[in-house]
Amino acid sequence: RRMFPTFQVKIFGMDPMADYMLLMDFVPVDDKRYRYAFHSSSWLVAGKADPATPGRVHYHPDSPAKGAQWMKQIVSFDKLKLTNNLLDDNGHIILNSMHRYQPRFHVVYVDPRKDREKYAEENFKTFVFEETRFTAVTAYQNHRITQLKIASNPFAKGFRDCDPEDWPRNHRPGALPLMSAFARSRNPVTSPAHQNGTEKGELPSSFQTYLHFPFT
């Protein structure tokens, strides 16, 4: 599934005429596996982490592009897809469900010099925003996330135009049939970062950063 909320970034300070590539990868936050406690609306440690998944990177589909293009508007990684299928051959980012991850954003300067290998360590920069940490899940653990996704989905007008109590039973937040359907898909989506073991109350429609993120 596509990562939700979406990671978005506004970039400054590039050479307008130089070429750059933008990419992302994900690293585990810790060596633990988590479970969600519905009675307390909090995440609890459930044991040691599963074996690490194959490391992959996601290149923004517009890469490479001139600095002027990257800087003129917000860059959205809305094509990035996550899966927990270890045999995935589509190039998606493979994550373990119920584990915490830190997204990393990388900017790579496309060096035109013939001996660019000598400058490889100078031609990229990595940005890590702790506010974008999340728990990968196969089913939303918080009904507010379900409501947020419906509100952000241009194809879900029918759900937005009626009272949540009128939604089909399988699409009501927290309904077991919905969770079962997501679990069968085996593709993780993201649950927002939690603080001190508890999910935050304010949920953005995207992980968007200029100099800060809306979680702060």
Is the preceding peptide bond at 188 cis, omega within 30 degrees of 0? no
d(CA 191, CA 61): 24
Report the C-alpha gap between 20 and 116 in whole angstroms: 14
Torsion 53-186-45-7 (CA) sign: positive
Q: What is the largest CA-CA distance in the chain?
A: 64
Q: Does the global pTM surpass 0.85?
A: no
* All domains in the chain, ordered by first residue: 8-133 (2.60.40.820)
Contacts of 89 (CB under 8 A, 6+ apart): none
**Number of helical H runs and strand E runs in the chain:** 4, 16
Per residue in 28-77, pLDDT (tens digit) is 999 999 999 988 888 999 999 999 998 999 999 999 999 999 999 999 99
- Kindly report the number of other CB atoms within 10 A of residue 114's CB atom: 7
pLDDT digits 0-9 by tens, 101-153: 999 999 999 999 888 888 888 899 999 999 999 999 988 877 888 888 888 87
Neighbours of 158 (CB within 10 A): 12
